[in-house]
Structure 1
Amino acid sequence: MRINTQVVLDEITARCPSSSALLRDIREPLADYARRVYTPDARPANPLSADARDRFETAVRQEPGVDQTAALSVIQTGPHYRFALDDDYFSSLAFSVLGCAAAGQRQNVFYNCATITLEEQVRRGPAWLRVDGEPTRAFAVPRRTMAKRSVLLYDEPVKLADELVERVGALSELTGLGIDLDMLAGRQTVREHISMFNQQVFDRFSEANGVSTAVLDDWFFADLLADSLESDSLLARLFADGRILRAVRLLHAQPMSSVRRFVPNSTELFWLNAAGKIRPLHIDDGALRSPRHATTVPFDVESIAAALRARVLVPNLFLVFCLSSILPLIRTVGGAYQAVYHEVFTSAVATVLDENKADEQALQQELRRASLVAWGHNLISRNLVGADVAGARLPAWLPNTSIVDLSDDLSAFTCDELWAKLCG
């Protein structure tokens, strides 16, 4: 069942003010919208956000291949960790590259969530390559392993499946991307295979469009959070005085059940690395706990920072967005669900800020004005891999085609079950 487009737009206006402010007219050309999304706002004036922005930018610029002088004020956070040619990745990559190029930006930055399992859904996820809905098994890994192990923590060396090599070879020839499969021969971790494969795709996009792409993962944010907790940062302040726990309670207390379904809440602030498997934690009696795995981490900044550096803890999405977007006032580009839950995250942070402290009040006011999330993941409804892409040069028709046509009448919203419940 497809939801009426105007009903969806009305709900976006009501629930997702940031996305609505940027998505002004679904009939406008994609390039105009992408330019607006990727045009950076002025740097934050309040000292707390300026400090958070400096910490984030300093950390990103230490990543391999990142342009040291490029603006880092917009991040694509939609696709999870998977092959760049996948249905759930490639067109979002194309949108981001188009937006960066249109806005005169040379550096495209992605965050790819890697706490997800190798097979998120049936024949979908990092262990599969889906092109035009057709899945191809990517690795010689048993299905039972795919369903239990996360791509972040699965460190067993594996080989590419023969069927993937065959399919990628055909796609590479068709598109002119020139993927060197010899680089992927032999046994490597799933992360290494995907990273090396995707880097070749990113390099082709850079050559064709003048926009480089760098990818941040969950360990990047674990280190950034540890650094922040060990310094005089706002996040350290929120942890030390317990206000971060108030924010967690707010996330779990959404008054509308239809909104609560959008909010990732499987764990409280952190995931546990339990013998190479991602497991949830809950906060109780001053500690992060997992009775099943006999794990307790005291809830203080020193213990948490040490556990992050030891790779025992992994930040959840709420903390990732605090570090990458909400506190440094950096726009993220995501999908139809993120348009909702980013607003919920931002509201929770704004609520726990202290209006009696001038610096926190200034941040609170900026959070209420800023457009920190834009729709741009799965906006282009079809996978552009194939005859449309020639050597990673974007099709000439893409920039001038309207949002409503490229998105199949906003199908990421209008054909989604959760959005149907929200609009119902």
Structure 2
Amino acid sequence: MDKPSVSNSTSYCSPADVRRSLSYLMPQLAPYWERPLTAYASKLYRVEHVSAESAARNYARNLLRTCIERAARRSRYTEEEARSAGRELVASPVLQTGPHCLLLFEPDAFYTHLFSMMGLMAHNRNWYISYFASTSGFSERAKKGPGWLRVGGEPLNLFGVPRNRMDSSSIGCLNGPYRYALTNAKGESAPNADAACLLANLPSAEFASAAEAIKAGNRDLWRRTFSQSIRLLQLDDFDVADLIADHLEDPTSWISSQFIGNRTIANSILTALDDLQAGPWAGWIRRTTDFFWRISENRVTPLRLKGDALISDKAPAFSVRFRPAAIATALRNRLILPNLLLAFLAISILPGVRVLGGFRQVVYYPLMRYLTSAGIQQAGNADLLADMVNDNQPGEWGHRVLRRAESDPFHEVNVAGGIAPLLQAYGKLSLSDASGDLTCFTEDCLWSRLAANIADGSIASASDEWRWSGS
């Protein structure tokens, strides 16, 4: 299962409809529409550590802390800095999970990072910890997506990769080498002054995957351009794969003993997912793959849970037994990756971490919590279920909150003289003004149907599915 694909539909509902629907589903949001953007950012990063009643939650928190520290060391932070990152996340558990694997200056990512910095600075946080999905393709639409960046008024190909290769590859696959090139349609590298400046600030090394190159590029750009006081730590799908393997290698963990070890739990979640497609929440979570993706040379491809194994329709000879040890080995060997449900289960739902996401995540994440609750109820883990019920606003709208149309962030930073003036200027805007025309909502067919269903009473904020939003 996975989030739905982005719709290219024309406008279906108005910005007023969207704000009304968001305020209905998340009443805590309503007072912030006319308040400064900094106030809303501060609210999202204001979360206190809550004691857990269940052993499963405490265990998941400890493993997530280990994952954070391991990722920090991989990102060249010192041992003390790594421990600091782990302590901070446990003390104030918030993760930015909105942007996909995009270079920092891609607009869809850039303005979300600015927004997150406002919240972090409001609480004197030292770490900006984010998770990004790296199973996506190079292009989301024409010259937009992880493999592209508009600099100096023209779209540039980050790695100079041929279009036919971009169209057939996922950025997380280990099919490199990849090296930053910033080429235009004529194949010219760094064809304008801004592009030349940006290229000089990006690593010159070769990388095994495009996702790893973007991750390394973001690390360098953050230190040089964004912040010296707030450290960036990026978690990707390989970090989460290792985290889930950590769970599976301990027979006492909930994921090992219940989710994977007891196949009826996994099947109950898949059944609940199929049932969602028959009601007003249809389409918000798709059964794109059953819990894991297969990593091939160029693409991630779906797996299906059939009997006691994960089977690939694309490669009939490939299968992984649905047992903790077998799946852990496949994860460690980079043969499979977790899907979004498994990722959110490990980094948020089980450990009790608030996640900030975009216009689709604010709906599909509570539904993922609902699906998880079906499995927990099947397993009879009343204490873990009680911890989930007590979660305070576990998923919030925190991506694409600040929107600027047709922008060139790298040029904007240079003109402004740095990030600080932009933080000050945008932070003064009201949430309503900062979010603009809410195009990503208004041109989305699922949001149009959702707004209509709310208006006619087909969807209630007190529904069994939505009560897992924690609103």
CA 1:22–1:168: 2 relative to 1, 3 Å = farther
Query: Separation in 2 of the partners of 1:168 and 1:102?
Result: 37
Q: 1:246 aligns with which of 256, 268, 278?
A: 268
The aligned residue for residue 69 of structure 1 is 84
Instruction: Report the equivalent of 1:283.
Output: 305
Deviation at 1:39, TM superposition (A): 1.5
Q: How far apart, CA to CA, are the structure 2 residues paired with 1:7 and 1:326?
A: 30
2:162 corresponds to which residue? Answer: 142
Matches within 5 A, 1:363-378: 363-366=387-390, 369-378=391-400
Q: Which residue of 1 aligns with 2:464?
A: none
Separation in structure 2 between the aligned mates of residue 57 and residue 165 of structure 1, nearest angstrom: 41
Partner-residue secondary structure (3-state), 1:108: strand
Report the secondary structure of 2:44's partner residue.
Answer: helix
Which residue of the partner structure matches residue 4 of structure 1? 14
Q: Which residue of 2 aligns with 1:56?
A: 64
Alpha carbons 1:22, 1:36 under 8 Å: kept:
no
Tell me the amino acid that sits aligned with residue 374 of structure 2.
T
- Displacement, 1:43? 2.8
Say yes or no: does 1:227 pair with 2:224. no
**Residues 187, 276 of structure 1: CA spacing in aligned structure 2 closer, same or farther, 3 A cutoff?**
closer
Residue of structure 1 in register with 2:417 after alignment: 390
Alignment-derived partner of residue 399 in structure 1:
427
Aligned 8 A contact 2:42 2:123 in 1: yes
Give the residue type in structure 1 aligned to 2:386: A
Residues 220-244 of structure 1, C-alpha deviations (whole Å, 9 max, x = no match): 0111101101112122222212213
Superposed CA offset, 1:315-362 (max 9, x none): 000000001111111011110000010010011112222385442342
Q: Which residue identity lines up with residue 22 of structure 2 in the other structure?
A: I
1: CA distance, partners of 2:286 / 2:163: 25
**Paired AA for residue 371 in structure 2:** A
Q: Give the counterpart of 2:121 among 98, 101, 126.
A: 101
In structure 1, what is the Cα distance between the partners aligned to 2:214 and 2:338? 22
The answer to whether the Cα contact below 8 Å between 1:184 and 1:193 also exists between their aligned partners in 2 is no
2:202–2:217 CA contact under 8 A, matched in 1: no
Match of 1:38 in 2: 45
Secondary structure of 1:183 counterpart: coil
Q: How does 1:191-230 map to 2 (within 5 A)?
A: 191-204=211-224, 207=227, 210-230=229-249
Partners of 2:157 and 2:249 in 1: CA distance: 43
The separation in 2 between residues aligned to 1:131 and 1:53, in whole angstroms, is 40
- Gap change, CA 1:378 and 1:165, over 3 Å in 2: farther
Question: Quick one: structure 1 residues 192 and 307, their matched pair in 2 at CA, closer, same or farther if it must change by over 3 Å?
Answer: closer
1:225-268 Cα deviation digits (max 9, x unpaired): 01101112122222212213311222232155663322143111
- % same residue: 27
Match of 2:339 among 316, 333, 356: 316
Q: TM-score, normalised by structure 1?
A: 0.89
> Could you say if the C-alpha distance between residues 275 and 194 of structure 1 is closer, same or farther in structure 2, counting changes exceeding 3 Å?
closer
Determine the C-alpha separation between the residues in 2 that align with 1:183 and 1:378.
Answer: 27
User: Is the CA contact (8 Å cut-off) linking 2:151 and 2:195 kept in structure 1?
Assistant: no
Question: What amino acid is the match of 1:421?
Answer: R
Partner of 2:325: 302
Query: Which segment drifts farther, 394-403 or 191-200?
Result: 191-200
In structure 1, the gaps of 5 or more residues are none
CA change 1:2–1:260 in 2 (3 A) is: closer
